[in-house]
Copies of this chain bind each other. A is one copy, B any other.
Amino acid sequence: MRILILGGDGYLGWPTAMHLSIIGHSVAVLDNFAKRRWELELNVEPLVPIQTLHDRVTAWEDVTGKKIQLFVGDLRNYGIVEKTLQSFQPEAIVHYGEQPSAPYSMIDHNRAVFTQVNNVTSTLNLIWAMRRVAPACHLVKLGTMGEYGTPNIDIEEGFIEIEHKGRRDVLPFPCQPGSFYHLSKVHDSHNIRFAVKIWKLAATDLHQGVVYGIETDETQLDERLATSFHYDEVFGTALNRFCVQAIAGIPLTVYGKGGQNRGFLNIRDTLRCVELAILNPAKPGEYRVFNQFTETFSVKELAEVVVAQANKLGIHATIEHAENPRVEMEEHHYNPAHSRLLELGLEPRLLSEVLIDSMLRRIEQYSHRIKTSIIQPHVLWDRRTIEMEELKYMWAGA
């Protein structure tokens, strides 16, 4: 199948491209390298040095003999989106091409507006271009479990049947996103659902949990194929950050009480979920949501798993409860459904001791590159007393 990966230079985009390529699909990637610039703005970098996308595509061909087609372009430019679709003629599009960080969107006013305009415009351009030049293509959009927030009822997969005053309907699950980034994903979901309805496009919205992991089968083939593993406060996710803190010999920072429950999944499972969505496409006029995670943990539980495993390896790790930079509930009900990908054949790789073992060892290999100063939280959700001029990060334009 001809599959286009938007955001193909990213933490998940690049491994997804390799995975789909190795199992025999014809793959293209598109990226504008925006995230590499955001890294420079914030003076953060991936733990493992990563090659340019051009060089990784070349290395992939060296190692496997398989070609990945490379498009360089910005999804905010409609002409580029349409031209790419016309040129590559994808049968499926995997859309990771957005600003992916909640803290980044909360740094200041400019980044909040940037995140929403960037993400919403990109996705609008994509669905309009699909309507015009690829109406039969299947859109696999990466959303987030954070679109739902933490309601006091079980979260369903995208829709919920509501009985109210003697009548019934199946309606979109109410959303309570917790950052301007998460809001942008909710806006996308609403826009896509509408476009599918009026234009009979086919779309799968993967509401993904927090991804962890540093390697996939394909990144392990060659050091040049590594993916960008972030551990900083802005782009790093909980488990990845904890493992780096353990190796760096600094306390694992749990925000607040740590009772925040979230869905998690291994990076290898992300690739498999995307593959399953592609192989079992939505029908024309169908907008479906899969909740994409394999287990739920509280943040505190997660930190405890890392501490226990590090201690077994002889690494002394401790937990510190940091003041919560976010505005969120620290104790709440959380029981989200996640059966649809299992029904399609997903076999979850649960957070086993073996996995953290190998992650810790891989991180140790690059421990000399850890910048401990970029891990502590500085981006605060409630900044009412702080003037914008006092912000740590300067804004570098759009």
Contacts and interface: CB of A to CB of B under 8 A. Distances in A.
Given A153-B164, A167-B333, A124 B116 contact: yes
A382 B199 contact: yes
Contacts of A194: 177-180, 183
Contact of A124 (B112, B131, B152, B165): B112
The quantity of this chain's copies bound in the complex is 2
B135 A124 contact: no
Contacts of A109: 78, 124-125, 128
A151 B164 CA distance: 11
Given A113-B124, A117-B121, A187-B190, A169 B151 contact: yes
A168 B152 contact: yes
A131 B175 CA distance: 23
A327 interface: yes
A344 interface: no
Contacts of A387: 132
A113 B135 contact: no
A173 interface: yes
A30 interface: no
Nearest to A165: B154
A3 to B, nearest CB: 23
A142 interface: no
Contact of A152 (B154, B167, B384): B167
A186 interface: yes
A219 interface: no
A212 B284 CA distance: 38
Contact of A168 (B153, B163, B167, B183): B153
A191 interface: yes
B178 A151 contact: no
Nearest to A147: B190
A176 interface: yes
Interface of A: 78, 109-110, 112-113, 116-117, 120-121, 124-125, 128, 131-132, 135, 151-154, 160, 162-165, 167-169, 171-180, 183, 186-187, 190-191, 194, 197-200, 327, 333, 381-384, 387-388
Given A117-B117, A154-B164, A162-B162, 11 more contacts: A78-B110, A109-B128, A116-B124, A124-B180, A152-B167, A160-B162, A160-B164, A173-B174, A183-B187, A183-B194, A186-B190
9 A-B pairs with the lowest CB-CB distances in the bound complex, closest first: A152-B169, A171-B174, A153-B164, A109-B128, A198-B327, A187-B187, A153-B167, A172-B174, A151-B169
